[in-house]
Structure 1
């Protein structure tokens, strides 16, 4: 999903954003006082994201909770709030203290974005720069529209290593397995 420019130069607080988002029929992201409208996804994108979520849920470690794209993630260090396609928290869920409704988490261990023509630049660029600032995040996974899985994994030194899944899929360090035959099964054209 991609974001469009805000409709007014008004700088919103996170509380104002949450109030507007609660009453909105469409999702928005938030950063630096701007409320950014999200574009809708394709049927293929939606089905692929669902397959990813099911695959992670079916192979996740005990004590981990998997969320789909309705769960907002906020990067405490930068204030940016986003809706990743899939996220996973292991252990207690930390909600953003500014969100009394508990619709925003701050401690994902794993984030997955399904790439599309309209989101790939942001998923690889600005979003990724923000996600790296989440202390709990151990893996960031990009899933292509065609069979391709890219993984960014935090090392013990705090740097990030990159690799692409081999033929067949990948077992993530955070526990779940992403199998090409499961992720790309029965997708619409």
Structure 2
């Protein structure tokens, strides 16, 4: 199973060390998968605002609950030596910073703001890989086109459950951290319409 787009240099293979060296010098971000380097889609203004709305409230409260909160620019190790990518928000248990670190490991929560062009990839391809991470407790998807948030969360028995949020007062619990986000907080001052559920008009059928 591969990403949905073409590699940076088709046919050329890199080691993880070569990829990390490339990223430190590159102007644009890239993913690493199975030895190939893949261009990473650029952010929109709306995307960036939604990422901030998700990450900043959690970042402000991180010390109270012993967490690290990273957004946008941190590379995540999904498969050691095999898959590295840039989630929009990563939450993990607090780990003291020991120096110049470029890669985050052992995420507890991952948040992706869905780009309309890549939404299917985040729902399927990334979802499969993320949920294989033993440390991951929750995977959150935030829509840019309507106020709609989806959460996949792991039970104590190791089973995955799904929950959707579509009302402004809906509250998203962030794994077992004690932190929460309201839907209205996520979409605050971002021009995204409320979800409009379309139901069939049955009046004609009951005349």
TM class, shorter-chain normalised? 0.7 to 0.9
Distance 1:130 1:164 in 2: 21
Deviation at 1:72, TM superposition (A): 0.8
Aligned counterpart, 1:126: 125
* Local SS of the residue matching 1:20: helix
Deviation at 1:15, TM superposition (A): 0.8
Contact 2:35 2:82 in 1 (8 A): no
Aligned counterpart, 1:62: 65
* Local SS of the residue matching 1:26: coil
Partner deviation per Cα, 1:110-155 (whole Å, 9 max, x = no partner): 0000012122111111111111121111000001112111110011
Residue 49 (structure 2) aligned to one of 31, 47, 50: 47
Runs of 4+ in 1 over 3 A off after TM superposition: 58-61
Aligned counterpart, 1:152: 152
Instruction: Determine which structure has more spread, i.e. the larger CA radius of gyration.
Output: 2
Alpha carbon RMSD of aligned pairs, Å?
A: 2.2
Structure 1 unaligned spans of 5+: none
Structure 2 unaligned spans of 5+: 193-207
Aligned counterpart, 1:9: 11
**Larger relative contact order, structure 1 or 2 (CA cutoff 8 Å, min sep 6):** 1
Moved more, 161-170 or 8-17: 161-170
Cα distance change on mapping 1:151 and 1:59 into 2, 3 Å: farther
Aligned residues: 184
TM-score by length of 1: 0.88
TM-score by length of 2: 0.81
